[in-house]
Amino acid sequence: MDRQELQEQIKAAMKARDKDRLAILRQVLGEVKNIEVNERRETTSEDVDSMIKRVLKQTNETLEASIKAANNEERTEKLKFQVGVLEDLLPKQIAGEELDALIKQVLDETGASTKKDMGKVMKALGAKTGGNFDKAGAASKLKDILA
């Protein structure tokens, strides 16, 4: 997703009068604007995806704390909604059989055979997918495959 798409999503949320969705989208846009101001450059779609992931991580942490506290159900529901919105903005994560095939391909390309090569394989997977893969699942499968 690039900045223009993000702004279109904000406009749509404003037209639909969806305050909760609008709030989280504006938070992401604010983070993107910070990059433009601080680094004095145009943002790329990778920057926007990175900011979405960052805000998603922060929102997940806040959600976990809210669930543990168990004292404000309304806030917890709002945070769950925001997490859902942020996850929808991110590109589809590669998992399952598609990830298995990609792991096999990367193992053939890199010639990895030991657990010492795991970092190299994970880096290659990240490069091929733009970081959009199930990292925990991939690590688990690699541990089983590599001796």
In the chain, the number of structural domains is 2
pTM to 2 decimal places = 0.72
One domain, residues 16 and 31:
yes
DSSP 130: T
Exposed/middle/buried for residue 112 (C-beta within 10 Å: 0-12, 13-18, 19+): buried
* Residue among 35, 43, 12, 50 nearest 130 (CA): 50
**Mean pLDDT calculated for residue range 46-50:** 87
pLDDT confidence of 145, banded at 50, 70, 90? confident
Structural domain of 115 = 96-145
For range 67-73, the mean pLDDT: 89
Residues 105 and 83 in one domain: no
Residue-wise pLDDT tens digits, 128-140:
887 888 888 888 8
- Split at pLDDT 50, 70, 90, the class of 115 is confident
Are 107 and 60 within one domain? Answer: no
Mean pLDDT of 54-73: 92
* Contact predicate 60/90, CB 8 Å: no
DSSP 8-state assignment for residue 94:
B
Q: What is the DSSP letter of 117?
A: G
What CATH code is carried by the domain that includes residue 77? 1.10.1510.10
**Mean pLDDT taken over the chain:** 90
Mean pLDDT value of segment 42-47: 88
- Is the domain of 21 the same as that of 38? yes
pLDDT in the model for residue 4: 94
% of the chain surpassing 90 pLDDT: 53
Same domain for 37 and 63, yes or no, is: yes
pLDDT per residue over 81-113, tens digit each?
999 999 899 888 888 888 889 999 999 998 888
